[in-house]
Amino acid sequence: PYDVLVVGGGPAGASAAIYAARKGIRTGIVAERFGGQVMDTLGIENFVSIKKTEGPKLVASLEEHVKDYNIDVMNLQRASKLEKKDLVEIELENGAVLKSKSVILSTGARWRNVGVPGEAEFKNKGVAYCPHCDGPLFEGKRVAVIGGGNSGIEAAIDLAGIVEHVTVLEFLPELKADAVLQERLNTLPNVTVLKNVQTTEITGTDKVNGISYMDRDTEEVKHVELEGVFVQIGLVPNTEWLGDAIERSRFGEILVDKHGATNVPGVFAAGDCTDSAYKQIIISMGSGATAALGAFDYLIRN
Ligand code: FAD
């Protein structure tokens, strides 16, 4: 068995694996896609000590750093079940079962769906989630951004530089994004902000041709013609596969203490899949280190 098995290969998992391996204990890392969300990120300017980098570039150096240690890397493998017996057992989708004395869950998060008619139908036919990835596809076109939080307003600012026009739809009466982002947004001539509106449908034929929304004050339904919709209403933790095995918040986030420990002895968690206050690369890496040290502490006491 492993001493530490890390499930998830984003910044949290990579950091946890390195910290564990540096203790000279048997370490494995199993990941559906090594690099995680960072693979979908273009510019990164807040990874302290590196002024500016790009997602795939950062992932390449993460991988290089992980490979510098004696870590079993099992990429393109999805965990489907966790069971605590004598050891912790992680079942993979391919049927294999990995056993470990301790486990660090770092399965990250993914974009939240808005759940209106047309969203699923027109995914990749005008409905997008990653402005950095898909923004350029809408060059010179009109798009909507659903969500007025930080990610929505960042997306709107980003897209405004590429597309002809951006309509932001916010459900609440006010935007929730940081003031500095809102100020920046307000300087842009090709952005319209609709507040207190509920998106009701993404319309189209073979691809998106518009969006319908209801003014929550007047209950009047309106329609805007456009070619793209970016859904930016937050992240969902990749924790469904855990079922009832591990205690989670009502948002599905794994509850951890300050050592990264979950409610199950020997099972730790780190990064965006936990109830951490903020979801950032540097924060995930920090919590990955914490979880690995927590797991090591557990191992020497048990
Ligand atoms: P993730 O990066 O989500 O990694 C999760 C890992 O778990 C992946 O390897 C995944 O394949 C794997 N996994 C999931 N489910 C399973 C399973 N069942 N079995 C096995 N493996 C599984 N942060 C910043 O600090 N600066 C930025 O500029 C920035 N820009 C961003 C831009 C975009 C477009 C996105 C999407 C995010 C951005 N973030 C940024 C946030 C940052 O990427 C995340 O906070 C960080 O990647 C979280 O790391 P993580 O390791 O917790 O999870």
How does pLDDT run across 174-230, given as a tens digit for each residue? 999 999 999 999 999 999 999 999 999 999 999 999 999 999 999 999 999 999 999
Q: 187 C-alpha vs ligand 1 centroid, how far in Å?
A: 31
Q: Could you give the CA distance from residue 232 to residue 230 in angstroms, rounded to a whole number?
A: 6
Nearest residue by C-alpha to atom 3 in ligand 1: 108
Nearest residue by C-alpha to atom 39 in ligand 1: 280
What is the torsional sign of CA 63, 65, 68, 72?
negative
Q: Residue 143 has what pLDDT?
A: 98
Helix (H, G, I), strand (E, B) or coil at 7: strand
ipTM of this complex prediction, to 2 decimal places: 0.99
> What percent of the chain lies above the pLDDT cut of 90?
88
- Annotated binding site: which residue ranges? 3-18, 142-156, 262-272
Q: 228 C-alpha vs ligand 1 centroid, how far in Å?
A: 24
- Which positions ≥6 away from 37 have C-beta within 8 Å? 10, 108, 109, 110, 272
Kindly indicate the confidence band of residue 42, based on its pLDDT and cuts at 50, 70 and 90. low
Does 41 score more than 80 pLDDT? no
Question: What does the pLDDT look like over 92-121, one tens digit per residue?
Answer: 999 999 999 999 999 999 989 999 999 999
Least reliable range by pLDDT among 45-54, 95-104, 123-132, 163-172? 123-132
Determine the angle formed by the axes of helices 150-160 and 179-186, rounding to 10 degrees.
30
Residues with CB under 6 A from ligand 1: 7-13, 30-34, 36-38, 40-41, 44, 46, 78-79, 106-109, 130, 132, 238, 241, 271-272, 279-282, 284
Does 253 score more than 90 pLDDT? yes
Q: 158 C-alpha vs ligand 1 centroid, how far in Å?
A: 20
Q: Could you give the CA distance from residue 208 to residue 220 in angstroms, rounded to a whole number?
A: 22
